[in-house]
Structure 1
């Protein structure tokens, strides 16, 4: 793991920083190949205007026992941590000094796969969710827009393989993000978003 210095962004009502080249090139390649081949990928259906359609990407949910997660009406029960995911979680926790108990993996098979505007603001993530997002594979755009001030410029980042994006504070309350289509991209991208699920009653 490289000890790269974080890039902090001056964004109203948001705490976002980016670690470029968080992983060594050799580690990126090994992780990418292993996750591509060994993760329990699935393609869920989402209901839009009464019709169920497949979401334009593959997903997987891993975490501690009973750390289920629901988004867009999709309930995800965790697969147990693999050794690789557990070690990667520990690396990230050590670097940013925050604990996680789950991870959502997205596989964008090519540039036609995407995720639409949304915030990671589900109740089980708490009032101020902390998200650590690691990119592997093809470079893809990551965009942010304000939920409360249309006058604020949209923010666009190009996330490369090995980059780690860290979002915390009130980011999810005041901002949305998306991974738009990039039709010229032929290669796949794997994104891991490490999270902390709050169990009711704790």
Structure 2
């Protein structure tokens, strides 16, 4: 039986500030939010360009914010919708813990092990220098990979649990890349809510 543990884990990683909360939301909260957001968010699948070819993005996304500022990445520009009550409540709880105000949430839905996101950094210009990224995970467990941009010996894996919170801040986005790779293991739906501040 897994005990409910919301004690933060500060990862000892060079050139990064990363904090992991294995159970930021209790199991009942996490189940409720997952089921609600799965059916109420306006999920979409955009095309991305890879090696000059347009292909469907291997996951579904949705963008919500408390402003009307767009968010652009990988050649995609998304216009936000207003925060739903559930997203606003999640944002408030994260802000209370981090003492940081977020404006925007990029939501990702990984439908199965074939859905993924490749190596990248959350370093878009509109996020400013040294952005704080707060990522909530609901649903199936997936492995989050990190690798240092210049020191190839520096790698890290974090198993992101249902109801967990991962905070990346400081110079993390300058020095590290991250991904959620595909997996051949049978796995259910996973949702990540990535809160950020657009200036």
Residue 194 in structure 1 maps to residue 175 in structure 2: no
From 35, 39, 42, the equivalent of 2:41 is 39
1: CA distance between counterparts of 2:146 and 2:50? 23
Residue 4 of structure 1: how far off its partner (Å): 2.0
3-state SS in 2 of match to 1:121: coil
From 45, 52, 60, the equivalent of 2:62 is 60
Deviations 1:133-183 (A, max 9, x none): 00000000000000011232x101111101100000000000000001112
In the other structure, the counterpart of 1:156 is 157
Contact conserved, 2:67 with 2:103, CA < 8 A, in 1? no
Contact conserved, 1:111 with 1:185, CA < 8 A, in 2? yes
Unpaired stretches in structure 2, ≥5 consecutive residues:
none
- Across the aligned residues of Structure 1 and Structure 2, the Cα RMSD in angstroms comes to 1.1
Contact conserved, 1:138 with 1:185, CA < 8 A, in 2? no
From 19, 22, 27, the equivalent of 1:20 is 22
> What's the TM-score once normalised by structure 2's chain length?
0.96
Runs of 4+ in structure 1 off by over 3 angstroms are: none
Residue 185 of structure 1: how far off its partner (Å): 2.8
Residues matched between the structures, number = 196
3-state SS in 2 of match to 1:105: strand
Contact conserved, 2:137 with 2:192, CA < 8 A, in 1? yes
From 110, 120, 123, the equivalent of 2:122 is 120
Residue 3 of structure 1: how far off its partner (Å): 7.9
3-state SS in 2 of match to 1:193: strand
In the other structure, the counterpart of 2:137 is 135
3-state SS in 1 of match to 2:81: coil
Contact conserved, 2:135 with 2:166, CA < 8 A, in 1? yes
2: CA distance between counterparts of 1:151 and 1:82? 42
> What's the TM-score once normalised by structure 1's chain length?
0.94
Residue 95 of structure 1: how far off its partner (Å): 1.1
From 88, 91, 96, the equivalent of 1:89 is 91
Unpaired stretches in structure 1, ≥5 consecutive residues:
none
3-state SS in 1 of match to 2:194: strand
3-state SS in 2 of match to 1:133: strand
